[in-house]
């Protein structure tokens, strides 16, 4: 990504916690590879956001490195895109402070994720949890991002980012680019294996998700136990048959076999066959990623260098915006 490029900026953030799932891969990562042509992409490992709930330091460090390796293993190019850690670019925290001064207690208190998380962590309703969306706004606005790929659960945070940007732009014209959500071309929604009415989430229990790092036998076991229904009919009907439809979605999207052809081919066969085929399709997709991942994890020097180098590239872009903000707001900048 060069400083003179004219491509719009895409910003994506993911927390280095939980397991990166098949849903993350199919719904996001896999598409990112295609977006590298159209956008200057930043893939940020948001380690500062992770601190809003208590973390084990060793695990956090390991997950951070693993996530960087997974991004690269999934096909993203760290020479083209910027794959980096949020805490390596101090401008995120600096801009977040400024934006805090333009964010209101009322609007932050209305955020669904804040209400949910404070209900779940009653013993740790910290100020970071409350201002989480402000740091997220800083992540995005710092790079004048045009688009942000977000799932349904982060829509509200993107909305408040837009509100904050527009609020500052009304006082200081032209300060920020107002970001738009990026709607993926194709949206195969991947659901939980144990509760197929819910989306597969990286913080759910291990048996309800497929991690990109699951071994082939784990994948087979998890699919064999996946919740289906009792009518025994292989048919795509997410409303009435969420479990079976989820398996069909996964199989279709990974094998490239159209839904119509797939359901016709499997009609009259048992769920066992559908589950086995789906597990094998998943294993075939994960195998090259896991091989590349293992190579990368065996070369920590390469990973460390890449992250340091990418952080420097991000700092260059971030500092430009931060300086503009400080100047416009009247902070004396010699």
Among 1, 9, 10, 13, binds ligand TRP (CB under 6 A): 13
Task: At 162, give phi and psi (nearest 5°).
Answer: -65, -40
Which residue number, 63 or 222, has a Cβ lying nearer to ligand TRP?
63
Find the catalytic residue in 7, 63, 115, 117. 117
DSSP state of 298: T
**Residues near 150 by Cβ (< 8 Å), separated by ≥ 6?**
157, 158, 181, 182
Q: How far is the CB of 158 from ligand TRP (least distance, A)?
A: 7
CA angle 240, 244, 247 (to 5 degrees): 140
**Residues near 189 by Cβ (< 8 Å), separated by ≥ 6?**
23, 27, 199, 249
Residue with nearest beta carbon to ligand TRP: 13
- Chain-centroid distance of CA 171 in Å reads 32
Q: What are the tokens at 192?
A: 């939980």
Residue with tokens 């953030």: 13
Find the catalytic residue in 7, 189, 202, 328. 202
User: Segment 101-140, which members bind ligand TRP (CB under 6 A)?
Assistant: 136, 139-140
DSSP state of 180: E
Among 1, 9, 10, 15, binds ligand TRP (CB under 6 A): 15
Q: How far is the CB of 167 from ligand TRP (least distance, A)?
A: 18
**How many residues sit close enough to ligand TRP to count as binding (CB under 6 A)?**
14
Determine the interface stretch with ligand TRP among 32-40, 146-154, 162-170, 263-271 (rule: CB under 6 A).
146-154
3-state secondary structure 45-103: ECHHHHCCCCCCHHHHHHHHHHHHHHHHHCCCCCCCCEEEEHHHCCHHHHHHHHHHCCC
User: Is 202 among the residues known to form the active site?
Assistant: yes
User: Segment 42-61, which members bind ligand TRP (CB under 6 A)?
Assistant: 46, 49
Which residue number, 69 or 136, has a Cβ lying nearer to ligand TRP?
136
Binding mask 220-259 for ligand TRP (x = CB under 6 A): ----------------------------------------
Q: How far is the CB of 98 from ligand TRP (least distance, A)?
A: 16
Find the catalytic residue in 199, 222, 241, 275. 199
Q: How far is the CB of 15 from ligand TRP (least distance, A)?
A: 5
Polymer length of the chain = 334
Task: At 84, give phi and psi (nearest 5°).
Answer: -155, 170
Q: What are the tokens at 43?
A: 């893939």
The answer to whether 223 and 232 are in contact (CB under 8 A) is no
User: Is 300 among the residues known to form the active site?
Assistant: no
Q: What's the CA gap between 69 and 83, in Å, rounded? A: 10
Task: At 40, give phi and psi (nearest 5°).
Answer: -85, 115
Which residue number, 33 or 297, has a Cβ lying nearer to ligand TRP?
33
- Should residue 154 be labelled a site residue for ligand TRP when binding is judged by CB under 6 A? yes
The answer to whether 82 and 313 are in contact (CB under 8 A) is yes
Among 10, 148, 253, 322, binds ligand TRP (CB under 6 A): 148
User: Is 241 among the residues known to form the active site?
Assistant: no
CA angle 58, 64, 67 (to 5 degrees): 140
Q: How far is the CB of 161 from ligand TRP (least distance, A)?
A: 8
Determine the interface stretch with ligand TRP among 10-18, 52-60, 188-196, 281-289 (rule: CB under 6 A).
10-18
Q: How far is the CB of 326 from ligand TRP (least distance, A)?
A: 22
The catalytic residue positions are 117, 199, 202
Interacting residues with ligand TRP (CB under 6 A):
11-15, 46, 49, 136, 139-140, 148, 150, 154, 157
């Amino acid at each position: 990504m060069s400083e003179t490029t004219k491509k719009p900026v895409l910003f994506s953030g993911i927390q280095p916690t939980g397991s990166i799932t098949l849903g993350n891969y199919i719904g996001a990562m896999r598409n990112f590879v295609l977006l590298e042509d159209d956008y200057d992409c930043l893939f940020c490992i948001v380690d500062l956001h992770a601190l809003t709930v208590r973390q084990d330091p060793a695990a956090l460090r390991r997950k951070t490195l693993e996530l960087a390796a997974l991004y690269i293993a999934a096909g993203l190019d760290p020479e083209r895109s910027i794959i980096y850690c949020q805490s390596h670019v101090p401008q995120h925290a600096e801009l977040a402070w400024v934006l805090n001064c333009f964010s209101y207690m009322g609007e932050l208190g209305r955020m669904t994720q804040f209400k949910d998380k404070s209900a779940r962590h009653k013993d740790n309703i910290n100020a970071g949890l409350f201002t989480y969306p402000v740091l997220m706004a800083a992540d995005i606005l710092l790079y004048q991002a045009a688009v942000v790929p977000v799932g349904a659960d982060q829509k509200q945070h993107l909305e408040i980012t837009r509100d904050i940007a527009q609020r500052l732009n009304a006082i200081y014209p032209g300060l920020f680019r107002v970001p738009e959500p990026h709607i993926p071309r194709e949206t195969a929604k991947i659901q939980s294996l144990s509760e197929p009415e819910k989306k597969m989430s990286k913080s759910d229990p291990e048996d309800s998700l497929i991690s990109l790092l699951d071994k082939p036998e784990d994948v087979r076991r998890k699919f064999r136990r996946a919740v289906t229904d009792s009518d025994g009919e292989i048919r795509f009907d997410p409303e009435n048959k969420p479990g079976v439809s989820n398996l069909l979605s996964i199989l279709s999207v990974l094998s490239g076999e159209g839904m119509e052809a797939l359901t016709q081919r499997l009609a009259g066969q048992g769920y066992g066959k559908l589950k086995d085929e789906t597990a094998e399709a998943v294993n075939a997709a994960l195998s090259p990623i896991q091989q590349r991942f293992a190579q990368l994890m065996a070369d920590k020097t390469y990973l460390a260098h890449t992250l340091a180098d990418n952080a420097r590239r991000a700092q260059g872009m971030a500092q430009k915006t931060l300086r503009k903000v400080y100047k416009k707001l009247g902070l004396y900048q010699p």
